[in-house]
Amino acid sequence: MAPMTTTTAGGAARDGSSAVDGPADSPFVRACRRQPVPYTPVWFMRQAGRSLPEYREVRAGVPMLESCRRPELVREITLQPVRRHDVDAAILYSDIVVPLAAAGVDLDIVPGTGPVVAEPVGTLDDVARIGPLDPADVSYVDEAVRLLVGELGATPLIGFAGAPFTLASYLVEGGPSRTHARTKALMYGAPEVWHALCARLAEITLTFLRVQVAAGVSAVQLFDSWAGALSEADYRRYAMPHSAAVLGGLADAGVPRIHFGVGTAELLPAMGEAGADVVGVDWRTPLDVASGRIGPHRAVQGNLDPCVLFAPWPVIEAEVRRVLAEGAATPGHVFNLGHGVLPETDPEVLTRVVELIHTASAR
């Protein structure tokens, strides 16, 4: 197979020849579609912020939700890891609770804690108080995406949203939870309330993602961070139908759909069936094993343990090469971490990892 030309973050070809035709022809999008690529593309969950000193500088004194509502700030934070690391895709700087706040839910993102909901949901009346999302209420997201698409050139931009189960868990628990006890109590004890809540959240999520697609993102990722708390049977009964409603609602959007969860080894077949084009895999399951569970019609994304980045370089290099080898045995592979970048990660290590992935996987 003849090598393909690809671009750096600024759109210039790596081999010095002409650039690719745009984000749709980028290695990232091609890998998502299980098409030939010149090298394994890479981006990192939570690359926009977290470990970067330049992020901490521009975010100083600005609350999290407020920072997500300022298009120029979103633009700058989203671009920072692309400039620094030369990753193959940018991901929109935002938070999964942004559309909930826009839909009228009284919540805040508390530093050191995460999203905190003023009045947790437990009844049908509580669900009824959650309004539908009007695209005009997230016009700042539309503006930020358009700013970024204009500046990124051939580098694709990934939009994202939280999956209904994970969003519902925050709303029912009132914040983060290790046991999800209230969530499961509502699921099992009041399934009519649970499904009404998740159906409303699926509508909100789909609207939020459609806003991003209409503004020009090249792919979307649905984060189901807490899905690993469920058995496969419960996932299929209580979570999968609502994620499928979101992913299915984007079937004609023309962009790859990525579905990711943590601790989901036993859920991978069902997550693939929910309608994604790419299934994200955390660090617990080898990519080739995961791909066998997901099936040949979907690419995989992942799955270096984020903590490996704190090891000596020879260990990091060996682990990166292992993930690349396992990914090479799948129908399509986008390199990523098995979860998000940890705040203490050395940015120089991330840059070096990107360089290694590009050179070691060159076809």
59 is a catalytic site residue: yes
Sorted by where each begins, the domain ranges of the chain are: 40-360
**pLDDT value of position 288:** 98
**Residue 280 pLDDT class (50, 70, 90 cuts):** very high
**pLDDT value of position 112:** 86
Of all residues in the chain, what percent carry a pLDDT higher than 70? 94
* Pick from 103-107, 108-112, 241-245: least confident: 108-112
**pLDDT value of position 21:** 81
DSSP alpha helix (H) spans, 70-123: 71-85, 98-102
Cα distances (Å, whole numbers) of residue 77 to 14, 54, 58: 24, 8, 8
Contact assessment for residue 220 and residue 246, using Cβ atoms and an 8 Å cutoff: no
Q: Which of 30, 34, 50, 75 is catalytic?
A: 50
**Residue 20 pLDDT class (50, 70, 90 cuts):** low
Provide the 8-state DSSP code for 2.
Answer: P
**pLDDT value of position 192:** 98
Count other Cβ atoms within 10 Å, centred on residue 96.
Answer: 20
125 is a catalytic site residue: no
Q: Which of 59, 75, 84, 298 is catalytic?
A: 59
Q: Which of 30, 34, 46, 75 is catalytic?
A: 46
50 is a catalytic site residue: yes
Q: What is the pLDDT of residues 352-362, one digit of tens each?
A: 999 999 999 99
**Rounded distance between C-alpha atoms, residue 37 and residue 20, angstroms:** 12
Q: What is the pLDDT of residues 137-196, one digit of tens each?
A: 999 999 999 999 999 999 999 999 999 999 999 999 999 999 999 999 999 999 999 999
**pLDDT value of position 257:** 98
Q: What is the pLDDT of residues 316-360, one digit of tens each?
A: 999 999 999 999 999 999 999 999 999 999 999 999 999 999 999
**Rounded distance between C-alpha atoms, residue 305 and residue 54, angstroms:** 24
Closest of 340, 358, 348 to residue 47, by C-alpha: 340
* pLDDT above 60 (res 8): no
Q: What is the pLDDT of residues 51-93, one digit of tens each?
A: 999 999 999 999 999 999 999 999 999 999 999 999 999 999 9
Contact assessment for residue 128 and residue 192, using Cβ atoms and an 8 Å cutoff: no
**Rounded distance between C-alpha atoms, residue 164 and residue 217, angstroms:** 21
Of all residues in the chain, what percent carry a pLDDT higher than 90? 93
* Pick from 5-19, 55-69, 122-136: least confident: 5-19
Average pLDDT, the chain: 94
- The whole-angstrom distance between residue 235's C-alpha and the CA centroid of its chain comes to 19
Q: Which of 170, 200, 257, 282 is catalytic?
A: 170
Q: Which fold has domain 40-360?
A: TIM Barrel (3.20.20)
95 is a catalytic site residue: yes
**pLDDT value of position 18:** 40
* pLDDT above 70 (res 229): yes
